[in-house]
Structure 1
Amino acid sequence: MNTSDKNNPYPTIYKKGDFIGKNYEVQDVLGMGGFGVVYLVYTHIRKSIYALKTFRDEYLEVPQIRNHFRKEAQVWIDLDLT
């Protein structure tokens, strides 16, 4: 894991081979946006590849942004592309 300076809007950037939590191994960075960073991850438990979107800590206290993030996540869940 790479932690950069305080002025970086993405204070934690994971690199290939890093784990997010216990299950998601980072394969690549897909993009960086207003809410956070999107990673291509592999889970050894399901033996599958996913896009995993992280959420910037500074937005945890902003209800409108938090709700938008939840709604976006629900849209992806409802797509059920499996």
Structure 2
Amino acid sequence: MSATTMGVKLDEQTRTRLKSVSEKLDRTSHWFMKKAILQLIEKVEAGACIEDVVGPDTLEKDSLRHSITLRRHMNSGS
């Protein structure tokens, strides 16, 4: 199995939190991020919808920033 490196931009506060929780588990930040990504993939594959992942209170703001459908719609000029 080949692997590809992918970057994730994190602000300083998130990086600090990531380092802290990783150290609490005696694991690397890389391990923690990979584990979190795999768990979220499994959750969605099992049927979770966006509301289950993001939460209804922040869904609108998250969608405006990250929705692929909204980006396509905005870029098409429709």
For the criterion TM > 0.5, the same-fold answer is no
Q: TM-score, normalised by structure 2?
A: 0.25
Tell which structure's C-alpha radius of gyration is larger: 2
RCO comparison, higher one (Cα < 8 Å, 6+): 1
Q: TM-score, normalised by structure 1?
A: 0.24
Compare the two structures and name the one with the higher strand fraction: 1
Compare the two structures and name the one with the higher helix fraction: 2
